[in-house]
């Protein structure tokens, strides 16, 4: 039945944790800020989701402000 104390929130599902797979494709970046003395950057991909973080420093692209990753 309807619980008036819950109001409009009674149809919201429970907040139980679930496991999901998220697939991310990073293709390119544009107009990055220079980070090197030579006015370029050595960009790499960083993906954050909640408390998880992936840094792909091994696959950086040398001296680019508009890198194409894939």
What are the pLDDT tens digits along the chain (70 aa)?
A: 667 776 666 677 778 888 989 899 999 999 999 999 999 999 999 999 889 999 999 999 999 999 999 8
pLDDT of residue 6: 66
Q: Which CATH architecture has domain 15-70?
A: Sandwich (2.60)
pLDDT at residue 26, rounded to an integer: 94
pLDDT at residue 46, rounded to an integer: 97
Grouping H, G, I as helix, E, B as strand and the rest as coil, residue 48 is: strand
- Residues 49-67 as b or e (16 or more Cβ within 10 Å = b): eeeeeeeeeeeebeeeeeb
Distance CA 13, CA 25 (A): 30
The pLDDT value given to residue 17 = 87
- CA pair distance 33, 39, nearest whole angstrom: 8
């Amino acid at each position: 039945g309807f619980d008036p104390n819950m109001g409009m929130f009674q149809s919201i599902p429970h907040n139980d944790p679930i496991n999901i797979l998220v697939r991310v494709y990073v293709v390119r970046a544009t107009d990055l800020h220079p980070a090197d003395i030579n006015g370029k950057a050595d960009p790499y991909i960083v993906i954050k989701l909640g408390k998880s973080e992936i840094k792909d420093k091994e696959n950086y692209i040398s001296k680019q402000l508009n890198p194409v990753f894939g």
